[in-house]
Amino acid sequence: MHETNISEATLSELSGKLRAAGLRTTKQRLALADLLFSGGNRHITAEILHAEARANGLAVSQATIYNTLNQFHEAGLLREVIVEQGRSYFDTNLSDHHHFYIESESRLIDIDNQDIAISDLPQTPAGFEPAGVDVIIRLRHK
């Protein structure tokens, strides 16, 4: 039995992910990576991740939650999604996609790249190049 309830296979997979990112495989990072990457894709805030970690019995500080999310983001393991003032969402879905955002529920829904077409892109201002295109369709209850 482990300190955590991560399966042997998942554990070595997650370890590899951390190593590849140049990050040491600590108990905290493994457990957070498991929460983030072992299920389906997720859109998650620091607050939610912290709550989930604690609910799963992991003693982890707020600082580590933020450090880890930022390190994973810098390493390209997470994408940051900015849709509301004040707090950041982190997205485990690294594919080229866009979002619906339901403000009343603070919820993001993926829009596959194939399900949207942006054409006639305007000329990029001289000296700059596109670093990413974010499409956010804000939704309200009908």
Partner DNA sequence: AGGTAATTTAGAATTATTCTAAATAAATTA
Partner DNA sequence: TAATTTATTTAGAATAATTCTAAATTACCT
Contact residues toward Zn ion (CB under 5 A) are 91, 93, 110
54-62, 91-99, 114-122, 123-131 -> range binding DNA (CB under 7 A): 54-62
Contacts with a copy of itself by CB under 8 A: the residue count is 40
70 makes contact with Mn ion (CB under 5 A): yes
Residue 96 has phi, psi (to 5 degrees) of -70, 105
17-25, 32-40, 52-60, 77-85 -> range binding a copy of itself (CB under 8 A): 77-85
Q: Residue 49 is which amino acid?
A: L
Rounded-to-integer distance, Cα 64 and Cα 70, Å: 10
46 makes contact with a copy of itself (CB under 8 A): no
Enumerate binding residues for Mn ion (CB under 5 A).
70, 73
